[in-house]
Structure 1
């Protein structure tokens, strides 16, 4: 059933590193309006640094929201609720009026190495219990460093992107959801900030926000925000989740055993588990849904950018040729940058190809297979840690390639289900709908997410690709990048296949 004109509407706002995207949909997932506003690119004033002008977030959000509400016309009065999603762990110090006192420190800022080491040691028991790997970009260290840079100023709060924008929309400080707080050092098991880590760093816990579950209502649109955005007064603000999590929700993964591979510029694999998946020494980390289920997974540095060598206009022709050719003659790890995050964390990792491809089509096919091998290793890793994989959805730009979908299904040894829309803004709108149009996320998923035809593995290529996957894992092991116990022969035990 399509949304009627009087049905409630829900808005998701996604603040990425370069844009603010706003999307409005109905309770059945029909999108009625969308808009984009640009943000200034993050700056990197020194090695390891990543900053952005936090003062740009609100004007860009206002612009995107006003474009959406203007497009809706009179229907905007039916907007019932809004939720915000953003990058994980981006923080900024603000004054009592919510004005940034300096640039925001981005999620990938790695300058707080010594502070991170202090936090890792002080909270070692807690991190082990949570299965958290503390590195230089982990939140407590970055927050302590941020506060030290503002010593002598009247810092009222350390805000994340989501709660700073909620503050502007409501007109008063709000709580933060536990998803955005996770990488900043919030313990979702104990329901508290990592006290010992912040104490060891000399960081004032009183400057951190209260944390509540996603979908919790934290206020309503005030008069000032209504006038600037076109949102109706009284529209609820409900807590969202990080952009990786909302992308997963939009991809259909809300029930235990369901996983989503989002193949865009990079490859993100996340799923749902009934229990916390612990990987203290590795790259897997777990967010938590409001119903208590866990979301283990990670993000690889390889993905769609592995095809950057080939112009987008030529890829459909190359897809057809690669599909007709069959498995590549070489094994490729198509990493376009230095360093890998998941399914193994190796800062010095570089892409490789074993041998010389037999022409352009062979090289292209090897790159498609290489990303699929990383995806398979991610699922083997998750399965080996105790996260059963029963159903795999897929979303992102990679879905446009039928050849790639078939290769990925064959490498995984299972059907995969393409999803039409796995935008983070759409996932945020799904969160906004919970509590009014839908009782919970599984109900929202069933009503709002649409899947395409199931992609089955190619039986004729399965043996060859299984052999090449084994060679891929062996190459990683030879370089010392992969030392996990999960191997191709353990496939049936991991739930993949």
Structure 2
């Protein structure tokens, strides 16, 4: 029995700030649960660690661990809450993680295969197979089959695991939502993007998938993120502390959840996630079509599109060169090097994915840094230049870019770096208070009360800091950016 709809959720009005919404993030390292009020105040949070099995290209987790970790995290997060205020919840998980499940009648889905995680790399030949005859809808969203696609891994499982004939494809979040509701549930089109759903129609391209070797009988129903999957059952309520009858809403992938948490949901809004690597996601009226393949688009439940890309540049270069250093002192010293005496592209390994695609790209330094402070300043500026080039790239594809951008991730711990990025980008940089994917899922659940996801985010996403560009510094850094970009062209990385 598939649950993809239901009665109106048990919510207050859009102004009911006393309502509590739960967001769940099933990550690689652990399960996190956040409880937030209707005006965005986080009133509880909890996390429980997960373990993985890694061996070369193999990366698996035991799906039963997701549920047991969730039980503990949810119980801890809800222990001191007024259960009468809890209105709903939603779950995000890693993009491209798949498994097969089976159920007997109206019972929760039971995992019957290992879970191949988002970066499991064993399905090379299957990715090649599906790439030879892609569905038209995949090209619309810019989704190009890769070895880490859930579809490729599902085909690998069918050939290499003992998958029962009646088992169905599922994603990481589906395991938890099915246990909560107590019956098999639909999947959402966000998690299903890399398992081959057509985002324009919201349906599976059955003929293409069957040609690839995935029978239509194995496919779950697909619903938009935010659709009602069902309500928490009595058994799950007893285990988790979440009240029976609480609405369970279809979720998003973890990357999309982080975008929701940033609040970058109006057309023209963009968010950079600055961690070990750099991720850009934004909101457009239509999917961006990128001939280079550097950009692909998710679809918002509000009807807009979320294009983006992931660079291999980022703070990982800082950790590689300045791990253990006093970064606060280096920040202070870097403030006197605007611009630095050299130009850098901040890659640690080989290859770049966005804002251009070059498998042979490596980090470089042009010029000689005067000292460690100069070398450090050039790295910070190099990441900012990659961000500016990323915005230039999406503008070139026809996207609208507003006068400010959101910034989330570990890099926001440095106020100097945030200011520097505002100077390089020439616009305001806005840092949200809470950028956790679990918080984004609480916002998605609250969409049912506010009418749209954009409106829910506008009410719930709080701002921690704002940085505006310094005109003189921006002018100097713009000159350095022009020279840096010319260096990329000279290497053949940009046309």
TM over 0.5: yes
- For 2:87, the equivalent position in structure 1 comes to 80
CA distance in 1, matches of 2:205, 2:380: 41
CA distance in 1, matches of 2:98, 2:230: 21
1:398 aligns with 2:408: no
User: Deviation of residue 99 (structure 1)?
Assistant: 2.8
- For 1:493, the equivalent position in structure 2 comes to none
User: Deviation of residue 154 (structure 1)?
Assistant: 4.0
CA distance in 2, matches of 1:187, 1:368: 39
User: Deviation of residue 312 (structure 1)?
Assistant: 5.8
- For 2:399, the equivalent position in structure 1 comes to 387
- For 1:262, the equivalent position in structure 2 comes to 273
CA distance in 1, matches of 2:143, 2:335: 40
User: Deviation of residue 472 (structure 1)?
Assistant: 2.8
- For 1:345, the equivalent position in structure 2 comes to 357
User: Deviation of residue 401 (structure 1)?
Assistant: 1.3
- Equivalence map 1:58-69=2 (5 Å): 58-69=67-78
- For 2:169, the equivalent position in structure 1 comes to 158
Identify the match of residue 60 of structure 2 among 51, 61, 76: 51
1:36 aligned counterpart, secondary structure: strand
Identify the match of residue 237 of structure 2 among 222, 226, 231: 226
1:250 aligned counterpart, secondary structure: helix
Name whichever of 233-242 and 120-129 sits farther off.
120-129
* Mapped contact 1:118–1:197 kept (Cα < 8 A): no
1:185 aligns with 2:196: yes
- For 1:420, the equivalent position in structure 2 comes to 433
1:94 aligns with 2:105: no
Which sections of structure 2, spanning at least 5 residues, go unmatched? 1-13
- Equivalence map 1:265-276=2 (5 Å): 265-276=276-287
CA distance in 1, matches of 2:149, 2:211: 15
CA distance in 2, matches of 1:444, 1:6: 11
User: Deviation of residue 190 (structure 1)?
Assistant: 2.1
1:455 aligns with 2:467: yes
User: Deviation of residue 280 (structure 1)?
Assistant: 4.5
Identify the match of residue 354 of structure 1 among 357, 366, 370: 366
Structural RMSD (CA): 2.1
* Mapped contact 2:424–2:478 kept (Cα < 8 A): yes
Give the 3 Å change call, closer, same or farther, for CA 110–311 of structure 1 in structure 2: closer
* Mapped contact 2:273–2:279 kept (Cα < 8 A): yes
CA distance in 2, matches of 1:288, 1:129: 11
Deviations 1:266-305 (A, max 9, x none): 2221111011111243120111111110001112222222
- For 2:442, the equivalent position in structure 1 comes to 429
* Mapped contact 2:317–2:347 kept (Cα < 8 A): yes
- For 1:487, the equivalent position in structure 2 comes to none
Identify the match of residue 225 of structure 2 among 210, 214, 234: 214
- For 1:28, the equivalent position in structure 2 comes to 39
User: Deviation of residue 53 (structure 1)?
Assistant: 2.2
Higher strand share: 2
* Mapped contact 2:294–2:309 kept (Cα < 8 A): yes
1:17 aligns with 2:28: yes
* Mapped contact 1:328–1:365 kept (Cα < 8 A): yes
* Mapped contact 1:122–1:196 kept (Cα < 8 A): no
Give the 3 Å change call, closer, same or farther, for CA 296–162 of structure 1 in structure 2: same
- For 1:476, the equivalent position in structure 2 comes to 488
Give the 3 Å change call, closer, same or farther, for CA 312–24 of structure 1 in structure 2: farther
Which sections of structure 1, spanning at least 5 residues, go unmatched? 484-497
CA distance in 2, matches of 1:125, 1:219: 32
CA distance in 2, matches of 1:255, 1:79: 27
CA distance in 2, matches of 1:146, 1:379: 38
Deviations 1:334-378 (A, max 9, x none): 222333322223344322222332111111111111111111111
* Mapped contact 2:22–2:35 kept (Cα < 8 A): yes
User: Deviation of residue 4 (structure 1)?
Assistant: 11
CA distance in 2, matches of 1:321, 1:76: 51
Name whichever of 317-326 and 147-156 sits farther off.
147-156
Name whichever of 302-311 and 31-40 sits farther off.
302-311
CA distance in 2, matches of 1:178, 1:152: 24
- For 1:407, the equivalent position in structure 2 comes to 420
User: Deviation of residue 453 (structure 1)?
Assistant: 4.2
* Mapped contact 1:395–1:420 kept (Cα < 8 A): no
* Mapped contact 1:49–1:110 kept (Cα < 8 A): yes
Structure 2 length as normaliser, TM-score?
0.91
CA distance in 1, matches of 2:208, 2:491: 34
- For 2:130, the equivalent position in structure 1 comes to 119
CA distance in 2, matches of 1:258, 1:231: 34
* Mapped contact 1:132–1:278 kept (Cα < 8 A): no
CA distance in 2, matches of 1:7, 1:276: 36
* Mapped contact 1:410–1:459 kept (Cα < 8 A): yes
Give the 3 Å change call, closer, same or farther, for CA 290–6 of structure 1 in structure 2: closer
User: Deviation of residue 419 (structure 1)?
Assistant: 1.4
